[in-house]
Amino acid sequence: MKEILLCKYGEIVLKGANRRYFEDQLCKTLRHRAKSFGNFEITRSQSTIVIEPLDDFADMDGMFECTSKVFGLVGISRAAVCEKSMESIEATVREYIPQFLEGKKTFKVEAKRSDKRFPLNSVEISAEMGGVILSMMPKIRVNVREPEIVVHVEVREFGAYVHAGQFKGAGGMPVGTNGKALLLLSGGIDSPVAGYMIAKRGVCIDAVHFESFPYTSERAREKVFELARLVSQYAGTIRLHVVSLTHIQEELVKNCEEDYFTLLLRRYMMAIADRIARETGCGGLITGESLGQVASQTMQALGVTDPMASLPVFRPCIGLDKEEIVQIARRINTFETSIQPYEDCCTVFTPKHPRTRPDLGKVIEQQKRLDFDALVEEAYSTKTEEYIVPEF
């Protein structure tokens, strides 16, 4: 018996004349990812993408797991392919479907007949296959209104599919359909979630991480690389830039008032990130701020740091509380890595009483104690980059 994956579109179906562009990008992503799991053919038909293994060596389990993290798909089903006859469909239902019904109390059968020459209509196919299932599993019952599981039979021009229990896809839009942005990636919980949420809207992600070696450790750096790898499973390959802020922070300690350290450092970070973004073709910056969560994330503090960016700043977590962000982090598997106890540059030289309602004029006055442009240039010269490729 041959098994395939049936993948259902999400928002793409609403794209009208532009729909083909989004479909092409989605199929391109799937074909690229399929290379890691064997030889697959990927085609589209009737708002469905069909992923078909072309030999016995193809890894269907790996491809299914990978496909569940591709933005643009709302549902994924493993389906058996059979000939277009009631005899073949019945045999396939008997062999393939019981594994999905184990432990279930109710079901229903939904049939779709796109080949109108088929002798039975959709209602008749559903009734026949419902009877077959009841004869095999007498403890299960039909419930057409609220079944625990739906068994699908699709009769198409070239054959038939039998499947049950659609799994939820990642949703969103295909990555690459809405431009590119640069994520300021720390080692915390929020920024990986922010990157995931913007990638879900079809945006390609680059990232920049600011380190303060030797005040931050090699383990802290490795933690950020792991977070980028986890996000890349959804967002695709990420170009990760690493910039040292060590000298900037040392100069802040020598020349500026302590309660301004964090705000001034954030201004340097935004200026450097903005430069990297513009030079790499990004259309915006992404940060993980949640309004009022910490001192640097008050409305006034954000107003002090935003002027350093010439590009739009996207903050998808801005209206979420910590528990909501944690829930997403757990779902995308970044939480356990984020909470590893390795410091990042924002926890080094943290003031005891940071400014929560800063005045922009006073911040600029503090900034003038340093040669801002020279320090930005020096930090930028430390930049290294590495491509983080998703692993499944």
Q: Give me the tens of pLDDT residue by residue for the chain, a chain 392 residues long.
A: 899 999 998 899 888 888 999 999 999 999 999 999 999 999 998 788 999 999 989 999 999 999 999 999 999 999 999 999 999 999 999 999 999 999 999 999 999 998 889 999 999 999 999 999 999 998 999 999 999 999 999 998 889 999 998 999 999 999 999 999 999 999 999 999 999 999 999 999 999 999 998 888 889 899 999 999 999 999 999 999 999 999 999 999 999 988 888 899 999 999 999 999 999 999 999 999 999 888 778 888 899 999 999 999 999 999 999 999 999 999 999 999 999 986 665 555 666 667 778 888 999 999 999 999 999 999 999 999 999 999 88
β-bridge mates for residue 313, sequence order = 285
CA 337 vs CA 107, 134, 298: distances in Å: 40, 47, 26
Tokens 């090699």, residue? 218
Residue 117: is it exposed, middle or buried by C-beta count within 10 angstroms (0-12/13-18/19+)? exposed
Choose among 151, 235, 142, 246: nearest CA to 194. 235
- DSSP letter at 166 equals P
Q: Quick one: tokens of 364? A: 């600029």
User: Number of helices (H) and strands (E), helices first, in the chain?
Assistant: 14, 15
pTM comes to 0.91
Residue 87: is it exposed, middle or buried by C-beta count within 10 angstroms (0-12/13-18/19+)? exposed
Tokens 């992923």, residue? 51
The dihedrals phi and psi of 245, each to the nearest 5 degrees, come to -110, 10
β-bridge mates for residue 209, sequence order = 242
**Measured between alpha carbons, how far is 267 from 272 in angstroms, rounded to an integer?**
9
Say how many Å lie between the first and final Cα of the chain, rounded: 26
Ordered by where they begin, the domains of the chain are: 2-168 (3.30.2130.30), 180-388 (3.40.50.620)
Angle at 15 between CA 9 and CA 19, to 5 degrees: 70
Contact (Cβ atoms closer than 8 angstroms) between residue 189 and residue 350:
no
- Which residues have a Cβ under 8 Å from the Cβ of 352 and sit 6 or more positions away? 258
- E strand or H helix at 220, and its extent? helix 218-235
Residue type for position 53: P
CA-CA-CA-CA dihedral for 123, 124, 127, 132, to nearest 10: -140
Q: Quick one: tokens of 359? A: 């005045």
